[in-house]
Amino acid sequence: MNEERLPDDVARAKCIMVRALESSDMDAFAEIMSLPGVRRGTLSVGYRSPEQLAAWYERRLKGGVNVCAIIDGRVVGHAGLEVRRSSCCGHLGLSVHDAYRGRGVGSALLQALTDCADASLGLRRIDLTVFSDNAPAIALYRKFGFVEEGRSRGYAMRDGILADVLHMARLVEAPRLQTI
Element (H, E) at 143: helix 135-143
pLDDT value of position 178: 66
CATH number of 8-128: 3.40.630.30
Mean pLDDT of the chain: 88
Q: Where are the domains of the chain?
A: 8-128
Q: Per-residue pLDDT for 164 more than 60?
A: yes
Residue 4 reports pLDDT greater than 50: no
pTM: 0.85
What pLDDT is attached to residue 36?
93
Percent of the chain with pLDDT over 90: 67
Query: What are 119-159's pLDDT values in tens digits?
Result: 999 899 999 999 999 999 999 999 999 999 999 999 999 98
Give whole-number Cα distances, 64 to 10, 43, 67, in Å: 28, 19, 10
- Whether residue 6 has pLDDT greater than 80: no
Spatial contact of 65 and 80, defined as CB atoms under 8 Å apart: yes
34: helix, strand or coil: coil
Rounded to an integer, what distance in angstroms lies between the CA atom of residue 32 and that of residue 51?
14
